[in-house]
Structure 1
Amino acid sequence: MASSKSSPPGFVFSILIIISFFNFVTCNNQHILSSCNFDAIYQLGDSIADTGNDVQDNPSSKFARLPYGETFKKATGRCSDGLLMIDYIALSAGIPFLDPYLNKDGLFDYGLNFAFAGATAMSAEDLAKWNVSFVPTSISLSRQLDWMFSYFNTTCRGNKDCFKKNGKALFMVGEIGGNDYNYAFWQGKTIEEVKTMVPEVVETIKQATKRVIGYGATRLVVPGNFPIGCFPVNLTKYQTNDSTAYDELHCLKELNNFSIYHNYLLQQAIAELKEEHPDETVVYGDYYNAFLWLLSKADLLGFDPISLQKACCGIGGDYNYGLSSWCGDPKVPVCENPNERLSWDGVHLTQRAYELMATWLVRDIYPKLQCEYIVSYSSAV
């Protein structure tokens, strides 16, 4: 009888680690937020979370046509090939996908999405004070709050009713602020110049969060910024032959440090909010480390290792992103399998990337939302 060779212990251990890793990513995450008993979700933000407000306002938007939404076989107004993080957060909470506020035929029984592609935290007038004149939309965070409060004033029967209703909802205040910086960068300002804007952008987000709390919100997530030095748009714009400008993940260190600075000030602002509102739960949404986790584990997650920082829908250069030809233009190609790419169009991520980021984020925020305490308290009552 021929002898068989057993697999080396190290090899078996590696296989077990990989299997455990995939189980971590997929197991029970789909409904982990359901124990929080959210009645609704309300979303503020920009294109990272917009489920159709921009295309309702501007039907000729490139986000209103394929290849955007190709996973759905039709464009939905989402800036991706398919679903966004807010969609997966809603799934995890057992809430239907959020319809955009500007869709007057939408179903708003389980919350609303006020996010708008291109939106800024500061108003165009405030950005003008920083000599940022290129602001392609007038929809800022304050405008979205006006929409939100107009909706509540129409649907609530006085403040007490809103407090009761909104106390059972999840409020996502962002991600927002990234475009304030993008427009300044794209206008030619240096990182040091844009850095001086950060305290005011963060203060704007803080004051917006206070307004939301003032309308009865008790559980809020305030997301931070992405590591913007890892995205094809910036890797293309600021490409350099200086190898010391890049980190071990091939991201631009200076731009990532800028994001870290924004996120540091934002977390300080959240800490202040917690002191000012001890009865409310305000949680930082760590988009920065969620994306770095995704990028660092991409090979285990089925992404194409040679295209981690290349746009799926794009053309030109080392990062498949053209500064003058963008996704949606007739001659711009789309990769065969978006599930193997992190970046969809150089600025936004693919559905698969958003799904995995949402997985990481949900597991991170779940214990901080104190859902188990809320559930046991509710059952006792």
Structure 2
Amino acid sequence: MIDFIANASGLPFLNPYLKKDANFRHGVNFAVAGATALPENVLTKHNITDIYTNSSLVVQLDWMSKHLNSACKMKGDCSKKQKTSLFVLGEIGGNDYSFLLLQGGTTPEVRRLVPEVVAAIKNGVRRVIMSYGAVRVVVHGIFPLGCIPVYLTIFQTNNSSAYDKRGCLKEANSFVSYHNKKLKEAIQELKREYPDVVIVYADLYRAFLWIFGNAVHLGFDGDSTQKACCGIGGDYNFNFANLCSSEVPVCPNPNQFISWDGIHMTEAAYKRMARWLIDDMLPKLQCRA
């Protein structure tokens, strides 16, 4: 979504930090697929070992520090630019919980992880403010995981009371709401700590449910809102044994699907959510022309 937000601001897509000889004049993207808020050694203490990368939030922030030290040769070179820049943290944290749940963790175990995940995000915000001079920071919440094919498949049950009116898993979404609530409380604390900094919560939960509730009107297939475009098998077109690849069938109309591979959204869905977030956040960011 950061690319759509950049485009809406009249900027090109942000190049990834690890791309050699890339142009970072308009911004840089430090995100890594599968990244977690908590570092690997902390996750291991919680018996979370099956992670896709060790490039946690701390590692990404270290990259930011290295990049700024390289880009700002003279003291004050970047201070003006940083004061007019938008720093975006997230979406981060969802993978910490997902890895635990997918390894058999219980809801109480996942809830016990929330304070540490939220603290890691909070410390990340502090760092971009104190170390990098950020004056406008956006902090993303987490999507309603209970509406996503991977969760709907793994935790599928014949118990109808486990689902809400949308067909999403109540327990998973209740947990996500708990994380988002605690994250918003942390943001309020940061606002009191740094009254001169604009910190805005990006409500991915509401943005996703807006798409879900207006799917047909927005051009999505109303019968496929919970199915993966690239996938095979089951009620949700998702199977861990046949994850999206060149050998797995792809729907002929990806723009009519919300979910791409059962885990990530389609470009069409991300674009719609980015637009919703921009409309929601822009007045709060106090930007001046």
- Deviation at 1:162? 3.0
Give the corresponding residue for 2:21. Answer: 105
SS of 2:241 mapped into structure 1: coil
SS of 1:313 mapped into structure 2: coil
Give the corresponding residue for 2:7. Answer: 91
Match of 1:301 among 218, 223, 240: 218
Q: Deviations over 1:51-104 (max 9, x none)?
A: xxxxxxxxxxxxxxxxxxxxxxxxxxxxxxxxxx11110011111100000101
- Deviation at 1:131? 1.6
Match of 1:201 among 117, 132, 139: 117
Match of 1:152 among 68, 87, 107: 68
Q: Contact 1:225 / 1:288 at 8 angstroms: preserved in 2?
A: yes
Give the corresponding residue for 1:141. Answer: 57
Match of 2:142 among 225, 230, 235: 225
SS of 1:160 mapped into structure 2: coil
Pick 1 or 2: higher relative contact order, CA cutoff 8 A, min separation 6: 1
Give the corresponding residue for 2:179. Answer: 262
Give the corresponding residue for 2:154. Answer: 237
- Deviation at 1:136? 2.4
- Deviation at 1:105? 2.2
2:46 is aligned with 1:127: no
Alignment of 1:268-307 (within 5 A): 268-307=185-224
The root-mean-square deviation of aligned C-alpha atoms, in Å, is: 1.0
Compared CA separation, residues 123 and 250, structure 1 to 2 (3 A): same
Q: Contact 1:162 / 1:216 at 8 angstroms: preserved in 2?
A: no
Give the corresponding residue for 1:169. Answer: 85
CA distance in 1, matches of 2:55, 2:221: 36
SS of 1:169 mapped into structure 2: coil
- Deviation at 1:358? 0.8
Q: Which runs of 4+ in 1 moved over 4 A?
A: none
Give the corresponding residue for 1:181. Answer: 97
SS of 1:362 mapped into structure 2: helix
Q: Which has the larger radius of gyration?
A: 1
Q: Contact 1:121 / 1:204 at 8 angstroms: preserved in 2?
A: yes
2:240 is aligned with 1:323: yes
SS of 1:324 mapped into structure 2: helix
Q: Deviations over 1:255-276 (max 9, x none)?
A: 0011100100000111011011
Give the corresponding residue for 1:356. Answer: 272
- Deviation at 1:137? 1.1
SS of 2:137 mapped into structure 1: strand
- The one-letter code matched in structure 2 to 1:131 is N
- The one-letter code matched in structure 2 to 1:368 is K
SS of 1:109 mapped into structure 2: coil
Q: Contact 1:164 / 1:216 at 8 angstroms: preserved in 2?
A: no
Compared CA separation, residues 108 and 262, structure 1 to 2 (3 A): same
- Deviation at 1:329? 4.7
- The one-letter code matched in structure 2 to 1:207 is N
Q: Mark the runs of 5 or more structure 1 residues left unpaired by the alignment.
A: 1-84, 376-381
Give the corresponding residue for 2:286. Answer: 370
Q: Mark the runs of 5 or more structure 2 residues left unpaired by the alignment.
A: none
Q: Percent identity?
A: 55
CA distance in 2, matches of 1:136, 1:357: 25
CA distance in 2, matches of 1:287, 1:246: 20
